[in-house]
Amino acid sequence: MKITKEMPITEIIQLYPKSIEVFSKYNLGCLGCIAARFESLEDGLIAHGINVEEFLTEINKKVD
């Protein structure tokens, strides 16, 4: 996996612009969220009640 649950959300978006499509699919407005600057992907997903492993699988398929 390229993207891990420990990565900051803003880093993911910067390194993998295609990831924005997956964030949008899950209705995650991470681009405009202040917390995305310091929050890990796992923290953000848990806060929104999203299954971390499912999201990781999907987002890594998208950026491959």
CB within 8 Å of 43: residues ≥ 6 apart: none
* Cα–Cα distance for residue pair 14/49, rounded to 1 Å: 24
Beta bridge partners of 8: 40
In the chain, the domains with their CATH numbers are: 9-59 (1.10.3910.10)
Q: Which of the 8 DSSP states describes residue 7?
A: S
Q: Does residue 59 contact residue 53 with C-beta atoms inside 8 Å?
A: no
Phi then psi for residue 58, to 5 deg, are -65, -45
Q: Spell out the per-residue pLDDT of the chain, length 64, in tens.
A: 699 999 998 899 889 999 999 999 998 876 667 766 778 999 989 989 999 999 999 999 999 8
Residue 37: predicted pLDDT: 73
**In the numeric block, which tokens belong to residue 1?**
């996996």
